[in-house]
Chains A and B, each alone.
Chain A
Amino acid sequence: MKVLVAVKRVADANVKVRAKADGTDVDLNNVKMAINPFCEIAVEEAVRLKESGVAEEVVAVSIGDKSCQEQIRTSLALGADRGIQVETDANLQPLAIAKLLKAVIDRESPDLIILGKQSIDSDNNQTGQMLAALAGLAQGTFASEVVLEDGHARVTREVDGGLQTLNLKLPAVVTTDLRLNEPRYASLPNIMKAKKKPMDVLTPEELGVDVASKLTMVKVEPPAERSAGIIVESVEQLVDKLKNEAKVIS
């Protein structure tokens, strides 16, 4: 069984990002970059499937300029077997990513595709769903548990009302939630091995995908600064303020 994992290069979760002065984008100059935490969970899940003998091969895919090879390499150091980079400098929207991943799936024919539920930079939460629709595959999003048996994936989903369990026919698309697993560290021996693992580079042209976006980002600006709160003396005072100042209760 083959598992394909998509990984995205994003600003490190610990970095405080700023908007560029001209408001055209987020300023990523000299910012520490990392693998999107939800994608890291996806890699971990795939590697665990391999370690438990369910999967034979784990392929990590990333889309972007050459620098995203770093995140593929990190995935290889975490235990993926080989990498695929779809090289493009274009500013890609989820639909273009989903189309490119669909084209990769057509080539690779994986039995399971695992993605992060969203990336911490743009928080779109769209790619996995779009991919499943484009590829005509079953989808289990926001997974907190994945069990594979008899050509099916039993996916427990975190939904607003609690937990929902789906039984998906493979091949299927799964997107990870935060509690699916706790990703490991890349161990030193695996870091050393990562360099020797194969990495293919493809282009959108080779995959026959038009990545031109119909969306234009108009402006990026920081959220309005909030003033500091106050500590009230008593419950009575709190109720009074909620009633008369905030006017949220009557």
Chain B
Amino acid sequence: MDFRLSEEQEMLVATVRRFVDEEIMPHEEMVERTDQVPPELRQHILQKSVEAGLCAAGMPVELGGGGLDSMGLVLMYRELGRANMALQYAVPRPSNILQACVGEQREKYLYPCITGEKIDCLAMTEPDAGSDVRSMNCRAERNGDNWVINGTKHFISHAELSDFVILFAATGVDQTARGPRKRITSFLIDMDAPGLVRRDGYHSVSHRGYHNNILEFTDCVVPHSQVLGDVDKGFDVANDWLGATRLEVAASCLGRCDRALELAAEYAAQRRQFNQTIGSFQGVSFKLADMEVQRRAAELLLYDAAMKDVEGRMTDMDAAIAKLYCTEALAFISDEALQIHGGMGLMSDLPLERIWRDHRVERIWEGTSEVQRLIISRSILRPLEQGN
């Protein structure tokens, strides 16, 4: 077992770290204060990311992407994760699922996303379909060469910046032994398609400047050529390409664990009370020890999953463990870091306040902690259950 990074990986980390320090960090406070990323700044960061080759870093080199494998991506997202989410999302990371594009779809959607000219968003969640995503009500009905789409999606991240949406909609129902089961198809829909209305979403406690949206489809007609993958096989497409997004969340949480721990350690070593640094009190120093242990464990679990993914042997459980542990480690570490800072930790003048605020969504999106535990426990029990 060797967890040392290769020379390339070290260089990648150095490049991304410098990119974050120089292009992103200086704007953080402004975005936190205004809840907005000015369009020209977003364009500037995008342009810089293209120059640094970080745009679409996870797409294969043959398609014009950066060609990073899962381990490289995890390292990159860990560094990007240190910074404000809205700003680091100006570095384009088109959904992997776009690799399922064929023919003209590639020209129209895949390639422009890889060059940073177009931005995609993904619409799965609905007001009545969260973790139970297959219960979605948004439906698409075939009408000759077209599909007619009706329904509402919400919590759609950065749709306000996107040129098109990768939509998941129900296209039928199968009767199974366990009851009716919806068939899902994935579509590529331009944001200016007639019948599609985007509305601003809700105001989240986490990730200022990174907005969610509501998408309403009312008799939205799209040609059959907009189907991504095969009809009724939307979840197959999703399973093929979206498994690793949990590692992305895990990695960005780990990046914030790094930053919170750095801030806490620095403060504990400098802040003086009762004529000594507060780090010399066991109550504070043991917190730091526990935080470091959790960070190390999170790192190992994440790297383990990523390396398995590189070798094509990552299981659903591996990704779930990494996502669960890294997001919960961030909850613990950001909370303890704040405790070490005392009252000052709560003030928006320090970055800790937002790291603590931002952590909350991480245990919810990309599958809640409970869903991850469900996946893990099922993976343990299923082989032992009778009849399997």
Contact A77 B53 (CB under 8 A): no
Q: Report A-chain residues with C-beta under 8 Å of the C-beta of B10.
A: 70
Q: Is A99 an interface residue (CB 8 A)?
A: no
Q: Is B199 an interface residue (CB 8 A)?
A: no
Contact B18 A185 (CB under 8 A): yes
Stretch at the interface among A128-136, A187-195, A233-241: A187-195
Q: Report B-chain residues with C-beta under 8 Å of the C-beta of A191.
A: 8, 11-12, 15, 53
In the bound assembly, the distance between CA atoms of A187 and B68 in angstroms comes to: 12
The 0/1 profile, CB within 8 Å of A marked 1, for residues 304-346 of chain B is 0000000000000000000000000000000000000000000
Q: Is A73 an interface residue (CB 8 A)?
A: yes
In the bound assembly, the distance between CA atoms of A191 and B15 in angstroms comes to: 9
B1-27 residues with Cβ-Cβ distance < 8 A to A are 7-8, 10-12, 14-15, 18-19
Contact B8 A195 (CB under 8 A): yes
Contact B15 A188 (CB under 8 A): yes
Q: Is A186 an interface residue (CB 8 A)?
A: yes
Q: Report A-chain residues with C-beta under 8 Å of the C-beta of B19.
A: 185
- Once A185-B15, A185-B18, A185-B19 are accepted as A-B contacts, the answer to whether A190 and B53 lie under 8 Å apart by CB is yes
Partner of A194, one of B11, B54, B68: B11
- Once A185-B52, A188-B54 are accepted as A-B contacts, the answer to whether A195 and B66 lie under 8 Å apart by CB is no
Chain B interface SS verdict (over half):
helix
The 0/1 profile, CB within 8 Å of A marked 1, for residues 195-217 of chain B is 00000000000000000000000
In the bound assembly, the distance between CA atoms of A70 and B6 in angstroms comes to: 10
The 0/1 profile, CB within 8 Å of A marked 1, for residues 11-54 of chain B is 11011001100000000000000000000000000000001111
Closest A residue by C-beta to B22: A185
A-B contact count, CB below 8 Å?
A: 45
Contact B15 A73 (CB under 8 A): no
Q: Is B57 an interface residue (CB 8 A)?
A: yes
Contact residue range for chain A?
10 to 19
- Once A185-B19, A188-B57, A192-B67 are accepted as A-B contacts, the answer to whether A77 and B11 lie under 8 Å apart by CB is yes
Contact A186 B66 (CB under 8 A): no
Closest A residue by C-beta to B48: A185
Q: Report B-chain residues with C-beta under 8 Å of the C-beta of A194.
A: 7-8, 11
Contact B7 A70 (CB under 8 A): yes
Q: Is A127 an interface residue (CB 8 A)?
A: no
The 0/1 profile, CB within 8 Å of A marked 1, for residues 54-65 of chain B is 100100010000
Contact A189 B7 (CB under 8 A): no
Q: Report B-chain residues with C-beta under 8 Å of the C-beta of A195.
A: 7-8
In the bound assembly, the distance between CA atoms of A189 and B57 in angstroms comes to: 10
Contact B8 A189 (CB under 8 A): no
Q: Is A74 an interface residue (CB 8 A)?
A: yes
In the bound assembly, the distance between CA atoms of A145 and B11 in angstroms comes to: 28
Q: Report A-chain residues with C-beta under 8 Å of the C-beta of B67.
A: 188, 192
Closest A residue by C-beta to B72: A188
Q: Report A-chain residues with C-beta under 8 Å of the C-beta of B54.
A: 188
A136-186 residues with Cβ-Cβ distance < 8 A to B are 185-186
The 0/1 profile, CB within 8 Å of B marked 1, for residues 73-117 of chain A is 110010000000000000000000000000000000000000000
Q: Report A-chain residues with C-beta under 8 Å of the C-beta of B68.
A: 188
Q: Report B-chain residues with C-beta under 8 Å of the C-beta of A74.
A: 11, 14
- Once A70-B10, A194-B8, A195-B7 are accepted as A-B contacts, the answer to whether A189 and B66 lie under 8 Å apart by CB is yes
Q: B271 CB to closest chain A CB, in angstroms?
A: 15
Contact B7 A187 (CB under 8 A): no
In the bound assembly, the distance between CA atoms of A186 and B61 in angstroms comes to: 17
The winner among A69, A74, A185 for most chain B CB atoms within 10 A is A185
In the bound assembly, the distance between CA atoms of A186 and B14 in angstroms comes to: 8
Closest B residue by C-beta to A182: B22
Q: Report A-chain residues with C-beta under 8 Å of the C-beta of B12.
A: 188, 191
Contact B7 A188 (CB under 8 A): no
In the bound assembly, the distance between CA atoms of A190 and B12 in angstroms comes to: 10
Q: Which positions in B face A, CB cutoff 8 Å?
A: 7-8, 10-12, 14-15, 18-19, 51-54, 57, 61, 66-68
A-B contact pairs, 6 of them (CB 8 A): A34-B14, A70-B7, A187-B15, A188-B54, A191-B11, A191-B15
Q: Apart from A73-B11, A192-B8, A195-B8, what 16 extra A-B contacts exist at CB < 8 Å?
A: A34-B14, A70-B10, A73-B7, A74-B14, A77-B11, A185-B18, A186-B14, A187-B53, A188-B54, A188-B67, A188-B68, A190-B53, A191-B8, A191-B11, A192-B61, A194-B8
Question: Closest 5 A-B residue pairs measured CB to CB?
Answer: A188-B53, A187-B53, A185-B15, A188-B66, A189-B53
